[in-house]
Amino acid sequence: MKYLMIIYHWAYILSLLCCHSYGLVSQPRSCLLFFTGGSNLFQSSIYSEFIDTIESKHIDVYSVPFQRQITQQKIDDLRVKYDSINVIGHSSGCTTLFNYCNKLNNINNVFLLDPVNTDLSFKKKYNGLQYHSITFIYAMKSYKITFDPFGLPFIPVFKMTVDDLNIDFNNIDSVQPTIYTLEMKNFGHSDILDQPFANIMHASRISVGNKDRNMSTKSEYLNYISKHIEKTINCPTYLLQN
């Protein structure tokens, strides 16, 4: 009887530990504010596969409504719920991201998917000093002529790079964000969209993507990017190790 009580005792403790651990994992402590393409005009519903993949990593994703300014109060309200607040943009939505977040504090990491600079003067510099890190994620078929199948570059000009940021990397006295570049060699600008939309863009040759249009290849692509986002958010030294 004594041994049976000991077994019950430890079984109860283990059950509490398991439940406690599961509860921690199921409650995301990080979030991502999403700026879509078309300068944030497009509905986030066309990115649902990508968003679902990110949220499977226990990161909440919030779509920023078109022409809805983000205030510091909104960020402060999110900070009560989340340990880490991050932002992501696609295409020209990256310019909108920088314009909206220019004077906001407490945003940790920035992720730029095929960023497009919509400043036609090519003179504007975007503020990047307040972030912990900025990742440029380039789908490389967006920037070159492809022949298998044939397609013209979707972004022949206006590609946003680190040179468009007002960061003086020679100033050793200032705190600099970590800059990271991720190049996805065999993918195109629209492969981040849900498969039906990505396939239309690919078939029409408006935006040529990966030759393999199987969903398994698409899922690997989305998961690879999502893992990078997850590790960047959850491990402060991840970018320094890669």
The pLDDT tens digits of the residues spanning 132-186 come to 999 999 999 999 988 878 888 888 889 999 999 998 887 766 778 999 999 999 9
Q: Is residue 222 part of a domain?
A: yes
Domain that residue 146 falls in: 28-237
Question: Angle at which helices 215-234 and 195-203 pack, to 10 degrees?
Answer: 120
Q: Is residue 2 part of a domain?
A: no
Q: Are 176 and 132 in contact (CB under 8 A)?
A: no
The confidence score (pLDDT) of residue 174 equals 72
* Amino acid identity, position 230: E
Q: Is residue 15 part of a domain?
A: no
Task: Give the CATH number, domain containing residue 160.
Answer: 3.40.50
* Amino acid identity, position 177: P
Buried b (16+ CB within 10 A) or exposed e, 186-221: ebbbbbbbbeebbbebbeeeebbbbeeeeeebbeeb
Q: Is residue 21 part of a domain?
A: no
Q: Are 181 and 116 in contact (CB under 8 A)?
A: no
Q: Is residue 210 part of a domain?
A: yes
Dihedral over Cα of 46, 50, 54, 55: its sign: positive
Task: Tell the residue number behind the tokens 């050793």, with chain if given.
Answer: 172
Count of C-beta atoms within a 10 Å radius of residue 21: 10
Q: Is residue 232 part of a domain?
A: yes
Among the residue ranges 11-15, 33-37, 92-96, 194-198, the one predicted with the least confidence is 11-15
Q: Are strands 30-35 and 59-63 parallel, antiparallel or unpaired?
A: parallel
CA dist 58 and 72 (Å) reads 24
The answer to whether the peptide bond before residue 115 is cis (omega within 30 degrees of 0) is no
Residue 55 CB-density burial (10 A; 0-12 exposed, 13-18 middle, 19+ buried) = middle
CA dist 139 and 183 (Å) reads 6
* 3-class SS string, 211-238: CCCCHHHHHHHHHHHHHHHHHHHHCCCC
Per the structure, the count of domains in the chain is 1
Q: Is residue 17 part of a domain?
A: no
Q: Is residue 130 part of a domain?
A: yes
Q: Output the pTM of the full model.
A: 0.86
Query: Quick check: helix, strand or coil at residue 193?
Result: coil
pLDDT tens-digit series, residues 12-70: 333 333 333 233 345 679 999 999 999 999 999 999 999 999 999 999 999 999 988 89
